[in-house]
Amino acid sequence: AQKVTQAQTEISVVEKEDVTLDCVYETRDTTYYLFWYKQPPSGELVFLIRRNSFDEQNEISGRYSWNFQKSTSSFNFTITASQVVDSAVYFCALSGRDFGNEKLTFGTGTRLTIIP
């Protein structure tokens, strides 16, 4: 069985501060994929990043960066110099390679509020 844990339910930071969202996962698959999605108030899930289990390189995209550590089963997400537009619910998700079905197992999400 797969499981994703996002222990932080809500986080509030003042604009321009850095913030890290934690994600811990469990899976028995040797090949798997990790994702982060953003859900603004409009409701649509917006894809941010995909990582496969063989690639532990950290990734940076603008103000966003991701730290994948297989040894601790974590895939944390950092926003640098946060902005009000970053306010949303962020979900970490896991996908296995079960006969090519890429269904996602989501965490419960972290609601991020950036205070102007």
Partner 1 sequence: DTGVSQDPRHKITKRGQNVTFRCDPISEHNRLYWYRQTLGQGPEFLTYFQNEAQLEKSRLLSDRFSAERPKGSFSTLEIQRTEQGDSAMYLCASSKQGVITEAFFGQGTRLTVV
> In the complex, which residues of this chain contact partner 1 (CB under 8 A)?
4, 33, 35, 37, 42-47, 50, 52, 91, 93, 95, 97, 100-109
Smallest gap from Cβ 81 to partner 1, in A, equals 25
Task: List, in sequence order, every beta strand (DSSP E) within 18-109.
Answer: 19-21, 24-26, 32-39, 46-52, 59-61, 64-69, 74-79, 88-96, 104-106
Smallest gap from Cβ 70 to partner 1, in A, equals 18
Residue 85: which of 106, 109, 62, 104 has the closest Cα? Answer: 62
Q: Are 15 and 81 in contact (CB under 8 A)?
A: no
Smallest gap from Cβ 25 to partner 1, in A, equals 13
Q: Which residue, 13 or 104, has its beta carbon nearer to partner 1?
A: 104
Q: Which residue, 21 or 107, has its beta carbon nearer to partner 1?
A: 107
